[in-house]
Amino acid sequence: MTLPWLTILLLLPILGSVVVALLPARLGGPLPKLVGLGFSVLTLVLAIGIAVAYQPGTGLQFAEEVTWIDLFGAHYALGLDGIGLTLVLLTVILTPIVMLASWEDGETGRWGAKGLFAWMLALEGLSIGVFAATDVFLFYVFFEATLIPVYFMVAGYGGPRRVQAAVKFLLYSLAGGLVMLASVIGLYVVSADSEGGPTYLVSELAQLDIGTAAGRWMFVGFFIAFAIKAPMFPVHTWLPDTTEQATPGTSVLLVSVLDKIGTFGMIRFCLEIFPEASRWATPVVIVLAVFSILYGALMAIGSQNISRLIAYTSVSHFGFIVLGIFVMNSQGLAGANLYMFNHGLSTAALFLVTGYLISRRGSARIEDFGGVEKVAPVLAGLMLVAGLSSLALPGLSPFVSELLVMVGAFVYSPWVAAFAVLGIVLAAIYVLWLYQRTMTGPVHEGVAGMRDLGLREIGALAPLVALIVALGFYPQPLLDVINPAVDHTMSQVEKSDPRPTVTEGEAQE
Amino acid sequence: MNGFDAPKIEYFTVSPILIVLGVAVIGVLVEAFAPRKLRYPLQVGTALVGLAAAFATSVVVFARLNPFAGDVKAGKVVAEGALAADGPAVFCWLLVLVLGALSVLLFAERRLEAGVVGFAGQAAALPGTEAEREASTSGLEHTEVFPLIMFAIGGMLLFPAANDLLTMFVALEVLSLPLYLLCGLARRRRLLSQEAALKYFLLGAFSSGFFVYGIALVYGYAGSMGFAQIAAAVQADGGERGLLLAGIALISVGLLFKVGAAPFHSWTPDVYQGAPTAVTAFMAAATKVAAFGALLRLFYVAFGGNRTDWTPMIWAVAILTMVVGSVLAISQTDIKRMLAYSSIAHAGFILTGFLGIRSLDEVAAGGLTGVSAVLFYLTTYGFTTLAAFAIVTLVRDGGGEATHLARWQGLGKESPLVAGAFAFLLLAMAGIPLTSGFTGKWAVFAAALQVGAWPVVIVAVLMSAVAAYFYVRVIVLMFFSEPVGDGPSVTTPSIMTSVVIGFGVLATLVLGIVPGALIDVLGRVGVFIR
Amino acid sequence: MISTAIDVLAAEGGHSIPLVEPTSAGSLALPLVLVIALPAVGAAILLLGGRRTDAWGHLLGTAAVVGSFVCSLWLFLGLLGRGEEERQLGLDLWTWFATGRWEVKLGLLYDPLSALFLLLITGVGALIHVYSIGYMEHDVRRRRFFGYLNLFVAAMLVLVLSSDYVGVFLGWEGVGLASYLLIGFWQHKPSAAAASKKAFVINRVGDIGLSLGVGLMLVTFGTTSFDEVSALTSGASAGVMTAIGLLLLLAACGKSAQFPLQSWLLDAMEGPTPVSALIHAATMVTAGVYLIVRSQFVFEYSDTARLAVAVIGTITLLMGAWIGCAKDDIKKTLAGSTMSQIGYMVLASGLGVAGYAFAIFHLLTHGAFKANMFLGAGSVMHGTDDDVDMRHYGALQKAMPVTFLTFAMGYLAIIGFPGFSGFWSKDKIIETALAESPVLGVCALLGAGVTGFYMTRLMLMTFFGPKRWEPGVHPHESPKVMTFPLVALAALSVLGGLLLLNDWIVTFLAPVTGEAEEHHLPVPPILISALVVLVVALGVALAFVLFGRREVPREAPTEVSFLTRAGRNELYGNEVNDTLVVGPGKQLTAGLATFDRAVVDGGAMGTAASIGGLSQALRRAQNGFVRSYALSLLAGAALVLLALVVVNLA
Amino acid sequence: MSVTPFIVLSAILFTIGAVGVLTRRNAIVVFMCVELMLNASNLALITFAKANGNLDGQIAAFFVMVVAAAEVVVGLAIIMTIFRTRRSASVDDASLLKY
């Protein structure tokens, strides 16, 4: 690899966003949208190329490293391991789909569809940077930078109270980010005192021996930021408010891509840089995670608003992911990684299809629907598929990841699993009850004569559904790239899977 | 009986100061003798030329420090020990000169006020009287502002280089007195402007009273005014410690007053709001640089020996300053006042970096020190705030500048470019990455953490979050609320203000993305000579 | 009593527990794949094809299942062609997922147990597809109905063919989904939608067992495939095996509507009748029995788990029978009886190696005669404009002779009339139960009597007595396409007993279930059989007295005994769920909603607001008076001095 | 004799000045109080100069006087303008800028 492929990959969409933004207004019409879509597809192609060239197993690939700020020890360092690769893929897959799905949503917004697409591309590029960064400083820069496009996407497009929602989102994230900043600087101080001199390279920080107390403090700083990002109880309330106001497309990019930064960061930074502190915090984190699972699910059941409901389901799902991460065994970690990808797909499908529904009805309140299946069977069918994937039905991709996390939790402690598993029952309730209230029963007068999905809308969802089903039966390609990364993480936290209690030898008595 | 040996002055090394003061004097002469028509061009011309010359010479002086040799003890004491031309001092010179030149451009802006500068046509003329009306119609303008600012700049060059208490006091007054006057010279809203001048003057004089008394006490303790001798005395730790502590306390009152740190901040909002915006910009940017330069030298060089005595006090002041600045800014409704409180908060952040004092042996050569962190932050903040105030001068309505936040609603629709630039500067002040504000915060927090001042850093971090709120609030106003009534209009400025804004935005961006070079230089020169 | 039961169970054992050691499927690989692929592809075409396939969709669906049935026969013959020891065929398709030590293959296991299930599922399935062609003729969404049916068949086949517990999970939820879709097929009826959701959710509760079971197996054995687990179970502690057993039992309870997860089955009758016949009588609801028998290598190592299974089965068979007695809705009566019959099967499988074979035997015969009777009921409803209230029937035997005759075959089979299939299977179970555990045996015997009672009641109210038809209803016989399956199933109901001919089924299943040594009864089996017949006869006689002689009121009498009221209310299962789970759950969610708004969000927002308030308050201090500023300055100076002094003294 | 009495005196003067700044309304008087504080400092400086036996303090005192003079110039100018516009030299009247 002579060319800096990752840099190209993350600059391509950013360039695209600049181009789209600068397109003169008078060439209106669909041109800006087409250009934007073109760039995102181009990015997708390039990313697929990278994924093909990626050899499963062997550490960081496509690595780039340039010293950036010597005195800070900051580098411009990119690289992909299995975890990063899957999330980059998720990003580049979802962006064009979201663009296609929200073709019309931007028109009425603050800067028109053009602006929306420009922001989306900017977000795509920055997200790729986040997932590819192998330098904490660089990661932090991208981490904060992603807030700006999302802020303007939320504040500029969507419901009547979108501005407040955007501010709430921004302040929550900024607060988390600043707390994290303290820890980031702490890392500098520690590394500066080490003989190696200041450095922010994850690879070198992982080798650093950080004092127990310092390590724990810094871990807490990082974890708070990531917990806000990933929304975990009790710092989740910004998410429902935001998704309630934002357009479906924004919600997808926010929940499916951006929030993954939180869980990604927990693996990449909390576990790999602060193994001791991670082990120390495990009990608390796991309790929080299980609580998030049940809390999110129950809140989803109680929600009267479709968008809020989906947001709360994500709180529950992120609980599963965090649980999988912190049980620190190969099932849990691999499950969590896979979960991030699958949750991205299923939640995207759910947001988009319900987005179609809401935009048709002009309301997101559940009691405004009923009997939609009769008037719009395709929409209903897709919504059911999306819902079933959200409740992790076997044969759909989320099942494998959820089962892995569950089993990983069981390996950690049966009791944890026993509580977490209640989540699957609650999931069935919130999904099917939503479907029952909106799609079945007598046709609500408000939905009478509702159009069924058009070709563009189906076209946007089709790839998602196809992926969900395909990965439901054959997730192994993803696991092949994830597993080595998981092994690396486990060696970092000095954990290994417990041997089964019964093996060949003992059975022969 | 025998001949005396004349005091040895290294004229070239101190030439920047001499040039600036000289140009100021020339300016006075110009006022006296040049015909009215010629004054404006002459004043602006001489001022800019003088600053350019001073800048050129200071560059040479800076180069002689040879910052890339890695010799951290670069620099020398000049003028019989009165001045120290070392890394921090000369860097402050460069910074003040650039900021000063930009401020002069703001002063010289004529297009915004329809062909006259934004200062009172005739300060003597009473507001609302025939005389004033006549003065404004006949296009009178006070070109004395240029000599005044030059004097102030001269004092600001002297201040951070002052190597004994007396010089420091003189410098303090030289930079303050012109500012008092400048504050009172607004063309619009004269009453507020004069009130600002009065408040600034009285409180300034009051604080310098403390300052002088502090000098007296320290002199009493150390038996000398020179920093080196004071340091020696502090090391020896003989004599009446009570005098020393009281002296430190009173001197720091004077200095903390200048930087606008709580609880000595109360003048800042009123003066920043009342003063002509150009002057406010100049004060916010340049005065902070000079004052912090002096503060650093005094405490690091003279009182470095017993830092354990005073660092806790600075902890408290820093925390208080950040809290007061951030919290009070939330409820402001006037943009200039809000920026004033934000500047208080930033003073707190800088003090956080100021805490990063370590003895020389602890500092790795070329590593990040408290000094370099503070100087870096001053650079980033100076340009950002200068540009921000410059933009404030553009947003106007019938009654001059529309500084009430409500008048900023929908500015993003009105003129996206200006609003965008302002939003960018605000994000920088909030410390968002890829802006200089972030790297600056990073530097000062790191310096503080290095000496284990983590509680201060925690507070700083939380307060940054609070501060983010009111910056974002302005962005929301500009982009996401509908204009009220006819809304404000953005007047197109002349090239001068445009240059200032452009330069500030550029600096904010560049220092945000590639701060490496500057940080490295500061890492090398960021040590005082003793 | 239980303790004695334990003793009895404990005394048994000492036989060799067969392992799962599949050999290569060889030439049978093709049909083994086809048998699943055909209905799966059928479902895909029908559900994705959209309106284009309306015209011929039902035919394609039926053809797919018939083809699948042919494959099952092909496989069956191929299996018979093999020797005893190589009657376990394995076929690994691909690795589903693998992490760490754990690898899950999507693999198929074809052995005598799955062989019988294949025949049942595809056979009965095919007949019911044919029947549905007629039954759903006038439904605009018939094509979709067949799509769902095919989906169900495919999933059910995956369930019984998978070689790994996770694979079973796949089919397990697949059938759950199909059942969800089919119960709620008439979604515009809120009752149907609610029933389908209820079924799925309660099945999910059962799935908890399967999920945790998988986890426990992984922790214990590091694998979840049948062959490896069966090879290792001998080494595990009894406690672990009990835990696994109970977890699997929980799963079985959900799927097979066993106590305490039974309440969904009766609601499930909201679905079209063919669905009730195929899914909620013949196949899906028996999956729990399959799971238990399949996991015999687990249950054989835990007497406690086995006892639990037997007890649950017994409770359910009595509950089901009780409910069956009280319902006037013909389908719900049959549903109750289904519960009861599955209870028999579970009981049998709980009896251990002696019972497994008979559980499967009864499962097969029941599959035939219960499907038969459900389809008959469907035919009756078809004739009476979808009226399900038996009080509106009567004297239908003339109106629809074929339905009546076929139904009668089913009736005789279920009550265990000597010679009919049900006789052999149920009799064996009761006999074994009495031998293994007298207490349970007696209950089973009682249940047989009750069965006789409620089935006779059903027959009398439906086909005999005076007409109680609704005005304007003119019952008529159903078309051939519907009666043909009835006839076929009736034949099976009669002849099903042949499977027991010189213990064929027992020996055939031996490679899976193991050999039971002959249990010794105090009395010869023939006497027991006689006893059973006698008890059944009593039940039948009672029914005649109560319903044959008297007039059956068209309106259900309200002053009835507690027994009846409880039965009508399904023994208050729903009420219990509501009070114990649903009600508190609703309150909890409501409470949490408030908590989330007030405390969690309120906390964050409150902090922000309070900072704002603080700001407003502090603002006042900036009062504009220069002298107060000077004062603050002075105070500041004092504080600074103070700080320095304090630090210096400290 | 010891420097203490002189320092105490200067401290008293300084305090009087400071208190005067806080209590008096008239700008001119307030300013005079500031001058008093400066002169208190001068006294201290000179005392210490004598005590330390070098001239720095005395020189400093001269500088302070000069600076004070300069301050007077600036101060009176400002106070004058305020007075002419407001017709009052009370510092409390100048309180438009607040909150």
DSSP code per residue over A402-443: HHHHHHHHHHH-HHHHHHHTHHHHHHHHHHHHHHHHHHSSSP
Q: Is D9 on the interface with B (CB under 8 A)?
A: no
Q: Determine, for residues C99 and A334 on separate chains, whether the beta-carbon distance falls below 8 Å.
A: yes
Q: How far is B255 from chain C (nearest CA, A)?
A: 11
φ/ψ of residue C492, rounded to 5: -60, -40
Structure confidence by residue, pLDDT tens digits, A279-288: 999 999 999 9
Which residue of B124, B180, B202 is in closest CB contact with D91? B202
Q: Determine, for residues D95 and C623 on separate chains, whether the beta-carbon distance falls below 8 Å.
A: yes
Q: Determine, for residues C188 and A501 on separate chains, whether the beta-carbon distance falls below 8 Å.
A: no
Q: Which of B361, B90, B83, B92 is nearest to B228 (CA)?
A: B83
D96 vs C115, residue with greater confidence = C115
Q: How far is B221 from chain C (nearest CA, A)?
A: 16
Lowest mean pLDDT among A23-32, B198-207, C359-368: A23-32
Q: Determine, for residues A110 and B516 on separate chains, whether the beta-carbon distance falls below 8 Å.
A: no
Structure confidence by residue, pLDDT tens digits, A353-378: 999 999 888 888 888 888 888 888 89
Return the SS3 of D90: strand
Range of the domain at D64: 1-84
In a domain, D51, yes or no: yes
List the CATH number of the domain containing D66: 1.10.287.3510
In a domain, D97, yes or no: no
Largest interatomic CA distance in chain A: 84
Q: Which of residues 237-256 of C touch A (CB under 8 A)?
A: 240
Which residue of A71, A141, A171 is in closest CB contact with B468? A171
Q: Determine, for residues C232 and A503 on separate chains, whether the beta-carbon distance falls below 8 Å.
A: yes
In a domain, D3, yes or no: yes
For residue A41, what is the DSSP state?
H
Q: Which of C140, C151, C213, C141 is nearest to C180 (CA)?
A: C151
Identify whether the C-beta of residue A255 lies closer than 8 Å to the C-beta of residue A296: no
For residue A329, what is the DSSP state?
S
Q: Determine, for residues B177 and D71 on separate chains, whether the beta-carbon distance falls below 8 Å.
A: yes
In a domain, D9, yes or no: yes
For C91, the enclosing helix (H) or strand (E) is: strand C89-99
Distance (Å, rounded) from C-alpha C143 to C-alpha C140?
8
Please report residues of B whose CB lies closer than 8 A to that of C632. 263-264, 266
Q: Determine, for residues A473 and C96 on separate chains, whether the beta-carbon distance falls below 8 Å.
A: yes
In a domain, D30, yes or no: yes
Q: Determine, for residues B126 and D85 on separate chains, whether the beta-carbon distance falls below 8 Å.
A: yes
Inspect the structure and tell me whether chains B and A have 3 or more CB pairs less than 8 Å apart: yes
Q: How far is B103 from chain C (nearest CA, A)?
A: 28
pLDDT reading at C6 higher than 70: no
Return the SS3 of C403: helix
pLDDT reading at C464 higher than 60: yes
Q: Determine, for residues A374 and C218 on separate chains, whether the beta-carbon distance falls below 8 Å.
A: no
Please report residues of D whose CB lies closer than 8 A to that of C625. 91-92, 95, 98
Q: Which of residues 411-440 of A touch C (CB under 8 A)?
A: 411, 414, 417-418, 421-422, 424-425, 428-429, 432-433, 435-436, 439-440
In a domain, D71, yes or no: yes
Distance (Å, rounded) from C-alpha C420 to C-alpha A102?
65
Which residue of C619, C624, C643 is in closest CB contact with B270? C624
| Residue A509: band (very low, low, confident or very high) from pLDDT cuts 50, 70, 90 | very low
Mutation pick from C616, C620, C640, C641 vs chain B, by most beta carbons of B within 10 Å, is C640
Which residue of C640, C643, C647 is in closest CB contact with B253? C640
Q: Is D49 on the interface with C (CB under 8 A)?
A: no
Q: How far is B515 from chain A (nearest CA, A)?
A: 7
Q: Which chain A residue has its CA at the smallest distance from B482's CA?
A: A110
At C7 the pLDDT is 39
Q: What angle do CA B258, B260, B266 make, to 5 degrees?
A: 115
Please report residues of C whose CB lies closer than 8 A to that of A498. 219
Output the average pLDDT for chain C.
86
For residue D8, what is the DSSP state?
H
Please report residues of B whose CB lies closer than 8 A to that of C622. 266, 269-270, 328
Distance (Å, rounded) from C-alpha A500 to C-alpha A495?
15
In a domain, D27, yes or no: yes
Inspect the structure and tell me whether chains A and C have 3 or more CB pairs less than 8 Å apart: yes
Which residue of C624, C630, C634 is in closest CB contact with D98? C624
Please report residues of B whose CB lies closer than 8 A to that of C639. 263, 316
Q: Determine, for residues C633 and B253 on separate chains, whether the beta-carbon distance falls below 8 Å.
A: yes
Structure confidence by residue, pLDDT tens digits, B165-181: 999 999 999 999 999 99
pLDDT reading at A507 higher than 60: no
In a domain, D96, yes or no: no
pLDDT by residue, tens only, chain B of 530 residues? 567 788 888 888 899 999 999 999 999 999 989 888 888 999 999 999 999 999 999 999 988 887 665 555 567 888 888 899 888 999 999 999 999 999 999 999 888 887 788 887 777 777 777 777 777 777 777 888 999 999 999 999 999 999 999 999 999 999 999 999 999 988 888 889 999 999 999 999 999 999 999 999 999 999 899 999 999 999 888 778 888 999 999 999 999 999 999 889 999 999 999 999 999 999 999 999 999 999 999 999 899 888 888 999 999 999 999 999 999 999 999 999 999 999 999 999 999 999 988 766 666 655 788 898 999 999 999 999 999 999 999 988 877 888 888 888 888 887 889 999 999 999 999 998 889 999 999 999 999 998 888 899 999 999 999 999 889 889 988 888 887 776 678 888 888 999 999 999 999 999 998 998 888 888 888 788 87
Please report residues of D whose CB lies closer than 8 A to that of B216. 10, 41, 44-45, 48, 57, 60
Tokens 């809120």, residue located = C190
Identify whether the C-beta of residue C215 lies closer than 8 Å to the C-beta of residue A417: yes
Q: Which chain C residue has its CA at the smallest distance from B260's CA?
A: C633
Which residues, 6+ apart, have CB-to-CB distance to C479 below 8 Å? C134
Please report residues of B whose CB lies closer than 8 A to that of A170. 468, 472
Q: Which chain C residue has its CA at the smallest distance from A335's CA?
A: C99
Tokens 């809140």, residue located = A299
Q: Which chain B residue has its CA at the smallest distance from A186's CA?
A: B449
Q: Determine, for residues A179 and B446 on separate chains, whether the beta-carbon distance falls below 8 Å.
A: no
Tokens 């078809």, residue located = C382
Which residue of B207, B245, B262 is in closest CB contact with C645? B245
Which residue of A335, A374, A440 is in closest CB contact with C184? A440
Identify residue A320 by its one-letter amino acid code.
F
Long-range contacts (CB closer than 8 Å, 24 or more residues apart) made by B155-158: B155/B290, B156/B92, B156/B96, B156/B100, B156/B286, B156/B287, B156/B289, B156/B290, B157/B16, B157/B17, B157/B20, B157/B54, B157/B92, B157/B93, B157/B96, B157/B97, B157/B290, B158/B17, B158/B83
Distance (Å, rounded) from C-alpha B128 to C-alpha C351?
109
CA distances from B269 to A444, B325, C571, C629 (A): 60, 10, 77, 12
Q: Determine, for residues B327 and C615 on separate chains, whether the beta-carbon distance falls below 8 Å.
A: yes
The pair of structure tokens assigned to B443 is: 């530097």
ipTM: 0.88
Q: How far is D58 from chain B (nearest CA, A)?
A: 10
Total number of domains constituting chain D: 1
Return the SS3 of B3: coil
Q: Which of residues 99-118 of C touch A (CB under 8 A)?
A: 99-102, 106
Please report residues of C whose CB lies closer than 8 A to that of B309. 644, 647-648
Please report residues of B whose CB lies closer than 8 A to that of D67. 169-170, 173
Q: How far is C606 from chain B (nearest CA, A)?
A: 14
* Cis amide prior to B483 (ω within 30 degrees): no
> Which regions in chain D score pLDDT beneath 70?
1
Structure confidence by residue, pLDDT tens digits, C527-585: 888 888 898 899 888 888 887 777 777 777 777 788 778 877 877 878 888 888 888 88
Distance (Å, rounded) from C-alpha B436 to C-alpha B453?
23
Which residues, 6+ apart, have CB-to-CB distance to B316 below 8 Å? C639, C643
Which residue of B366, B433, B479 is in closest CB contact with A144? B433
HEC string of C547-592 equals: HHHCCCCCCCCCCCCHHHHHHHCHHHHHHHHHHHHHHHHHHHHHHH
For C466, the enclosing helix (H) or strand (E) is: none
Q: How far is C609 from chain D (nearest CA, A)?
A: 19
Mutation pick from B449, B470, B514, B519 vs chain A, by most beta carbons of A within 10 Å, is B449
